[in-house]
Amino acid sequence: MNVSRRYFMILVPAAAVAWESVLAGTPEDSPNYKMQDHWWGMLIDTPKCIGCGNCVRACEAENDVPEGFFRTWVERYHVTDENMENPEVISPEGGKHGFPAAKEDEGKYFFVPKMCNHCADSPCTQVCPVGATFVSPDGVVLIDQSYCLGCAYCVQACPYGCRYINPEKHSAEKCTLCYHRITKGLTTACCENCPTGARQLVDLKNPKDPIHAFLKTHSVQVLKPQMATGAKAFYNELDGSVR
């Protein structure tokens, strides 16, 4: 076979490209889920929260959260002064079993569900010395359980207090935004079980997601915006006393 210099110059780059695609292999095993098409977050519609604790119980059941630790919890604020300086905040057992009845009183009451904010520029992933925690390509802050040393740097770094060290596994754990559910086309356990729709999983890369219209028409803010964490837990009508 006679290969001219001209054909050789065409064949070599073509073979290189082909070899490159062989090396790259199959990108993902779940064929219907493409990471690059998603950028997950959460909408928390605070006026809708009734403090029933269904989200906390659902999270615990879905993710085997150890007793006394929480990946999501609900706080009840009671603000009586005009300056909003000293709110009384309670969260008995993370609000898992609801809250004691409040009597008609001066001031205002409201519930604030808390969870990992799945920050785009998360402080917790920056401090991990071994690369065990990271922001996934679809915007979820996750922990590689087989790689975590349990040094708890990330637990200290999270400005929202969303991480804990599992007392049995001695590795850091946190909300995974139910990664095993959202990659299967389901919503998170907390969103699935919220009876009033106070929590909604949002996909910021999906142009059809109602979050885009919601953000444009409502008073939405994130927690601790001054920390520039790129938090993606959006709180609707959040009171100024919430820290």
Is residue 147 within the footprint of another protein (CB under 8 A)? Answer: yes
**Least distance in angstroms from the C-beta of 3 to another protein:** 36
Binding mask 192-231 for another protein (x = CB under 8 A): xxxxxx----------------------------------
Is residue 10 within the footprint of another protein (CB under 8 A)? Answer: no
Contact 198, 49 (CB under 8 A): yes
**Least distance in angstroms from the C-beta of 11 to another protein:** 30
Neighbours of 193 (CB within 10 A): 18
145 SS3 class: coil
Residues forming beta bridges with residue 142, ordered by sequence position: 134
Q: For residue 126, what are the CA distances in angstroms to 120, 129, 158, 174?
A: 11, 8, 10, 16
Is residue 123 within the footprint of another protein (CB under 8 A)? Answer: no
Is residue 127 within the footprint of another protein (CB under 8 A)? Answer: no
Using CB under 8 A, which of 120, 153, 187, 224 touches another protein?
Answer: 187
With residue 21 as reference, give the H or E element that holds it.
helix 5-24
Is residue 153 within the footprint of another protein (CB under 8 A)? Answer: no
Using CB under 8 A, which of 72, 91, 133, 241 touches another protein?
Answer: 133
Is residue 89 within the footprint of another protein (CB under 8 A)? Answer: no
> Nearer to another protein by C-beta: 192 or 209?
192
Is residue 19 within the footprint of another protein (CB under 8 A)? Answer: no
Part in contact with another protein (CB under 8 A); list of ranges 160-168, 174-182, 207-215, 224-232: 174-182
Region of 16 on the Ramachandran plot (φ > 0 left; ψ -120 to 50 alpha; else beta)? alpha
CA atoms of 31 and 77, how far apart (whole Å): 44
Residues forming beta bridges with residue 41, ordered by sequence position: 202
Part in contact with another protein (CB under 8 A); list of ranges 81-89, 114-122, 184-192, 215-223: 184-192
Contact 189, 198 (CB under 8 A): no
**Least distance in angstroms from the C-beta of 195 to another protein:** 4
The CA-CA-CA angle for residues 229, 230, 234, to 5°, reads 115
Report residue 79: phi and psi, to 5°.
-110, 125
Binding mask 48-87 for another protein (x = CB under 8 A): xxxxxxx---x--xx-------------x-x---------
Neighbours of 78 (CB within 10 A): 17
The CA-CA-CA angle for residues 213, 117, 156, to 5°, reads 165
Given the rule CB under 8 A, which residues bind another protein?
28-30, 33, 35, 47-54, 58, 61-62, 76, 78, 98-105, 109-111, 131-137, 142, 144-147, 176, 179-181, 183-184, 186-187, 189, 192-197
